[in-house]
Amino acid sequence: MCYYTDQVSSNKALEKRFKAQAKYDETMAQKGKISGFTRAALPVITQAKPSLIQLIPWGLIPAWASEQQAQELPQLTLNARSESLFEKASFEPSMLKQRCLVLVDGFYEWQQVGKEKIEYLIQLKEDGPFALAGIYAIWKNPRNLQWEPSFSIITTPANELMEEIHNTKKRMPLILSEEQERNWLAPISTEEIKSFFKPFKSSAMKAEKVHKGGEQTQLFA
């Protein structure tokens, strides 16, 4: 799964890496370890506006949601399983025309060792921000009639590295290579979308154990 990300890069670094313009004040962007359960907004590039980087809240609210559902669903839609994306009412409408890139510097996961949970920060060996595959929706708030976007991060079965770390659920976010990013935002068929649903290669990733004091020690290379 993926419920916590690491956000470090400046707007300038994101703009350079993703060749898009950040359309928000940098002081509005949270930095450091971010929990999806806080409804945090992360930098996202959408299929509708591929030249822009926007801050969008994490936890997808489908367009059809009632006001009550809009309060409850975000806690349940932080992630979307690749195996059932086209079967879930919350996600299926977004798959063909509302895909997005979620820009992160890393993500956190926990390894179960006996009764202990050991935290790891997972990044790419090639330092810098990278993209997770996501989907988004736009919900109209009936109270103020404002259109509110939100997103979910797609997950896949774990690769070898993530099987060792996330050793209970054995899941990981769908990481896109730089070559895949623009294709993910392009008009493509259902079968082409499904071809993306593969774990990222372990050899391009690294993981560091996070000590309670915040210090990190590299374990996997």
Q: What is the pLDDT of residues 86-128, one digit of tens each?
A: 999 999 999 999 999 999 999 999 999 999 999 999 999 999 9
Q: Please choose, from the candidates 92, 74, 54, the residue with its C-alpha nearest in 3D space to the C-alpha of residue 3.
A: 74
| Residue 189, C-beta contacts closer than 8 angstroms, at least 6 positions apart | none
Within a domain: residue 215? no
Within a domain: residue 216? no
pLDDT digits (tens, 9 = 90+) for 170-215: 999 999 999 999 999 999 999 999 999 999 999 999 999 997 754 5
Per-residue pLDDT, 211:
78
What is the maximal distance between C-alpha atoms in the chain?
A: 50
Report percent pLDDT > 70 for the chain.
96
Sequential DSSP letters for 4-72: EEEE---HHHHHHHHT-EE-S-GGGS--EEEEGGGT-EEEEEESS-TTEEEEEEBS---TT--HHHHHH
Within a domain: residue 201? yes
Within a domain: residue 219? no
Within a domain: residue 218? no
pLDDT digits (tens, 9 = 90+) for 44-77: 999 999 999 999 999 999 999 999 999 999 999 9
How many residues in total does the chain contain? 221
Judged against a pLDDT cut of 50, whether residue 221 lies above it is answered with no
| Residue numbers of the domain that contains 73 | 4-209
Q: Give the count of domains, the chain.
A: 1
Report percent pLDDT > 90 for the chain.
94
Within a domain: residue 75? yes
Return the CATH number at 186. 3.90.1680.10
| DSSP H stretches of helix in 80-165 | 160-165
Within a domain: residue 217? no
Judged against a pLDDT cut of 60, whether residue 216 lies above it is answered with no
Q: At 217, is the pLDDT very low, low, confident or very high (cuts 50, 70, 90)?
A: very low
